[in-house]
Amino acid sequence: MSLQVNMFDPKFVGHSFPTKTVKVEEGKLRFFSKTIGETNPIYFDKDAARKAGYRSLLVPPTYPFSLTLESESLEEKYVPVGMDLGKLLHGAQKFEYFKEICAEDTVTIDAKIIDIFQKKGGALDFLIEEQTLRNSDGDLLATLTQTFIMRH
Amino acid sequence: MDIKVIKTLKAGDKLEPLTQKPISRSTLALFAGASGDHNPIHIDIDFAKSVGLDDVFAHGMLGMAYLGRFLTLFTDQKNLRSYSVRFSSITQVGAELKCSGKVTEIFEEKDEKFMKLELSATDQNNDVKLMGDAVIAI
């Protein structure tokens, strides 16, 4: 076998990435909500959001994943771990929600690789990552668990 | 449908399905920018061909966002406690994702009442693209 095959390197199991901080920007939130076809004003209009009991524009359920990408791209994070963008598939995604996230919030993100394994004799290469999002008071906002797959 | 309607549902009840408009290349370009997922496999056909694919394909997270939006048509987002999906197969350009949901369980935990829902997104050929579940407080 002379072909060079990029695999997730199992030595990174348990690896924690440096803590990152992002500010939730309202313009980006509106762009995201519009792109996914959202029409509820709590995602676009601060007054509507406040009337509904939120501090500001509400972060939609899957936007925390985008916050994690804003803190560090998949490429920056995972090319050193062996990732090849052209082979990458998103296998599964889980969110657990503890407190709402709104525009202007400052969110700190801790990410850790919890498992790397192979299936089908190495044809599929799996990486599972857990991320924890907290506000500036240290309160838990959400946890994300994502499964990435490279097909060889 | 009234956003509070979900409280009256019981195990086995289905949510009224919602079909999204076909996923265009423009949507993929916009979603790349909006979501921060800039992987060229979703937006650059030359890149897709260079890795042996015929075409670009949709971000899994676009389907998950559609399904999440579908869910929040039936309940306030603040009630959402968990939401997870498996991306069963690749979603092609032009796919019209039909979002469906079914109540699978009503349960209590620590004096709070919850509803568990099974969710899916299928394309116009009835191929399953996403399968998932959500737990909401009721």
Of the candidates A32, A40, A53, which has its C-beta nearest B35's C-beta? A32
* C-beta atoms surrounding B33 within 10 Å: 14
Write down the pLDDT at residue A2: 38
Sheet holding B128-137, edge to edge: A20-23, A106-119, A124-134, A140-151, A88-97, B80-87, B128-137, B112-122, B98-109, B18-19
Write down the pLDDT at residue A6: 81
Q: What is the mean pLDDT of chain A?
A: 94
Those residues of chain A whose CB sits closer than 8 Å to some CB in chain B are: 28, 31-32, 34-38, 40, 52-54, 58, 60-62, 65-66, 69-70, 73-75, 85-97, 100, 145
d(Cα B38, Cα B28) in Å, to the nearest integer? 10
- For B69-126, the pLDDT digits (tens) are 999 999 999 999 999 999 999 999 999 999 999 999 999 999 999 999 999 999 999 9
Contact B90 A58 (CB under 8 A): no
Of the candidates A28, A58, A87, which has its C-beta nearest B77's C-beta? A58
Write down the pLDDT at residue A1: 41
- Mean pLDDT across A10-24: 96
Contact A31 B64 (CB under 8 A): no
Contact A61 B66 (CB under 8 A): no
- What domains does chain A contain, in order, with CATH numbers? 10-24+64-151 (3.10.129.10)
Instruction: Tell whether B19 is within 8 A of chain A (Cβ).
Output: no
pLDDT of B14 above 60: yes
Report ipTM for this prediction.
Answer: 0.95
Following DSSP, what letter does each residue of B70-90 receive, concatenated?
HHTTTS-GGGEEEEEEEE-SP
What residues in A contact B36, CB-CB < 8 Å? 66, 69-70, 73
Write down the pTM of the prediction.
Answer: 0.95
Instruction: Tell whether B51 is within 8 A of chain A (Cβ).
Output: yes
The DSSP secondary-structure symbol of A73 reads -
Q: How confident is the model at residue A93 (pLDDT cuts 50, 70, 90)?
A: very high
What residues in A contact B70, CB-CB < 8 Å? none
* C-beta atoms surrounding A119 within 10 Å: 10
What residues in A contact B87, CB-CB < 8 Å? 89-93
Write down the pLDDT at residue B1: 40
pLDDT of A151 above 50: yes
Residue B71 and residue B41 in contact, taking contact as beta carbons nearer than 8 Å: no
Contact A61 B72 (CB under 8 A): yes
d(Cα A109, Cα B9) in Å, to the nearest integer? 36
d(Cα B48, Cα B61) in Å, to the nearest integer? 18
Write down the pLDDT at residue A5: 67
Of the candidates A58, A62, A74, which has its C-beta nearest B39's C-beta? A74
3-state class (DSSP) for residue A72: coil
- For A109-134, the pLDDT digits (tens) are 999 999 999 999 889 999 999 999 99
Burial label, A11 (beta-carbon count in 10 A; 0-12, 13-18, 19+): exposed
